Amino acid sequence: MPFTPRDLESIRAEIQQFADEREWEQFHTPRNLLLAVLSELGEAADLIRWAGDKDPTIDPAIKADWDDEIADVFTLLIRLADRSGVDLTAAFAKKLAKARLKYPVDGFKGSNRKYDRPRSD
């Protein structure tokens, strides 16, 4: 599903303004934000804990709650990157380049094996 076009820097600035208006900077340490990300991921996981692998995994009855939890994780992850000095778009580009080297298409297409495990075929 394509996302609504939006600049990541404008999202970061909007989240920072939201926190600044509430004087939350004092609470937004990397440790606290990381724990908040984990907490929100737990809330998202709780929504689909017993859903299995059916398609669609996200039951329409919980879709609004699912959207909210994923948005919470996204918001907190952006804030965590900002408060810990990570340029998220640059870090993403570097990490994807590393992953392309670690998982070349010809050796990993259609496989879920980890890079350090030998092939089983």
Domain range annotation of the chain: 8-86
Q: What is the pLDDT of residues 25-50, one digit of tens each?
A: 999 999 999 999 999 999 999 999 98
Q: Considering the entire predicted model, what is its pTM?
A: 0.87
Q: What is the pLDDT of residues 49-72, one digit of tens each?
A: 988 887 777 999 999 999 999 999
Reported in sequence order, the residue ranges of the chain that DSSP labels E, i.e. its strands, are none
What is the fold of 8-86?
Answer: Helix Hairpins (1.10.287)
Q: What is the pLDDT of residues 72-95, one digit of tens each?
A: 999 999 999 999 999 999 999 999
Per-residue pLDDT band for 7 (boundaries 50, 70, 90) equals very high
Q: What is the mean pLDDT of the chain?
A: 93
Q: Which residues of 22-59 are buried (b: 16+ CB within 10 A; e: fewer)?
A: eeeeeebeeebbeebbeebbeebeebeeeeeeeeeeee
- Tell me, what's the pLDDT at 37? 98
